Amino acid sequence: MSGLIVLDYGGGNLKSVTNILDKLGYTYNLTAKKEDILEADKIILPGQGHFGQFMKSLNSKGLTEALTHKINSGTPFLGICLGIQVLFEESEEAPGIKGLCIFPGKVVKFTEGKVPQIGWNELKITTNNTVLTNDYVYFVNSYHVVPENKEIISAYSDYYMGFVASIEYKNIFAFQFHPEKSGEVGFEFFRRWIEKN
C-alpha cells in the first residue's frame, strides 16, 4: 500500500498541508499518479482554485475514475476547501462541468457580503461529528456546498447566512475551511483524523 497520499492536482495550498503533516511526523506521498491513488490507504485532497479547472485537470490526467473508486470503496478521505466542493454534482462556479458526484447536491455562491469570505468564523458542530470541536477556524471561500442529504453535515458556520462548514459520512471527511491555516485547532483536527483512520 502507498499509505497516506496528498493529491497534487496542480492547484494551490499543498505546501501548507504538507507542512502540517511534517510537523505531525507522518509519512506521506505527494502524488498525481493513478497507481498511487489506487494503492493508497488514506487520501487528502487539499484545494484552492477553480471547480472547473480542477475537474478538467483530474479528467485530463485520467484520475477521476480512480479517485471516485477509492472514495466509494471506503478508503479514508479528507477534502479541504475545493476538496469538499468537488464531492458534489455541480457548481455555479463552472456551469456544465460535472463534479465527482459522490454526494447529490450542488455548490453555490454566497449572495451577500464581500466574496471571497476571508477570515475566522466559528464552527457549530452537529451530532454527526467525530473530529471537530466548536472552535474558530479560517475560511477563504466564495462558494459553499448545499447537500441534498442534510445528515452528512457535521458543522455549520455563518457568513451573512448559515452555510455548511464540513461534512462527515462513513470514510469521508471534508472541510470548507482551511485546517492547515487554523493554527493549533487545525493541527489537532489533522491529528485526530489521521489517528481515527
* Beta-bridge mates of residue 155: 125, 166
Please identify which of the residues 81, 90, 144, 168 carries the catalytic annotation: 81
- For 128, residues 6+ apart whose C-beta sits below 8 A from its C-beta are 151, 152, 153, 154, 168
- Please report where in the chains the cell 485520467 appears, as a residue: 62
The Cα–Cα gap between 73 and 15 comes to 28
Please identify which of the residues 90, 93, 168, 180 carries the catalytic annotation: 180
Please identify which of the residues 35, 39, 178, 195 carries the catalytic annotation: 178
Roughly how many angstroms between the first and final C-alpha of the chain, as a whole number?
A: 15
Note if 178 is an active site residue.
yes
CB-based contact 142:173 (threshold 8 Å): no
Q: Would you please indicate which residues are annotated as catalytic (active-site) residues? A: 81, 178, 180
